[in-house]
Chain A
Amino acid sequence: DVKVTQSSRYLVKRTGEKVFLECVQDMDHENMFWYRQDPGLGLRLIYFSYDVKMKEKGDIPEGYSVSREKKERFSLILESASTNQTSMYLCASSLWSGGRFYEQYFGPGTRLTVT
């Protein structure tokens, strides 16, 4: 079974703190993704990575950065957390396309609250 794990289910941080969200997948997937989910807005892509050390901005990258030093691990970093970054964060992974459309496998999510 594909397994995507995220370091925390719930996290509470203070405004201005640096926050690290970790994601690990065990299926040797090339692609990894970070989304945030807000009510009424669905899932919005923050960043994605299609190879080690490679990253691309998604739809809402402002205020976030990412790191992928190893294939199985993709980290989302909030450089200086703000209250508008309170949200559910979902990590996903998938195989590289090779001309096909593979499904993405999701982790359980991290509910981040910034106070």
Chain B
Amino acid sequence: AQKITQTQPGMFVQEKEAVTLDCTYDTSDPSYGLFWYKQPSSGEMIFLIYQGSYDQQNATEGRYSLNFQKARKSANLVISASQLGDSAMYFCAMREADQTGANNLFFGTGTRLTVIP
């Protein structure tokens, strides 16, 4: 089974509008972390935001917020006031605890966001 599912291959949003990128996850581990990364056309993966499974509050980082619904196993990324520079691929990822302490990241297939002027 896929550990991370991103069902939107592509999304369009008007500049200055808000957009939600969907992410659902699958784990039986009570302790895990959820991450969102942005990958512009240059190729580098940029860390955006993190949510721990035990965190009570939804994470926020500037214009990024994470809508964490634990019972539904969803961790949607909300980008407010979209800018042209937000056009990129966005990946949702999850880390589970493992014996090595490396805690591998499992990635979704990504959503390509295009911001329209």
Contact = CB atoms under 8 A, between A and B. Distances in A.
Bound pair (A, B): yes
A98 B50 contact: no
B91 interface: yes
Nearest to A101: B33
Contacts of B47: 103-105
Interface string B90-102: 0101010100111
Interface string B28-67: 0000110101000011111100101000000000000000
Contacts, number: 73
Nearest to A31: B102
B100 A56 contact: yes
Q: How many of chain B's residues touch chain A, expressed as a range?
A: 20 to 34
A94 B98 CA distance: 14
Interface stretch (A12-20, A36-44, A65-73, A79-87): A36-44
Interface in A41-97: 41-45, 48-50, 54, 56, 58, 88, 90, 92, 94, 96-97
A64 to B, nearest CB: 16
A98 B101 contact: yes
A58 B46 CA distance: 22
Q: What are the nearest 7 A-B pairs in CB distance?
A: A101-B33, A106-B45, A43-B107, A42-B107, A50-B102, A42-B109, A109-B43
Interface of B: 4, 9, 32-33, 35, 37, 42-47, 50, 52, 91, 93, 95, 97, 100-105, 107-110
12 contacts: A31-B103, A35-B107, A48-B100, A49-B102, A50-B100, A56-B100, A94-B102, A101-B52, A101-B103, A106-B37, A107-B44, A108-B43
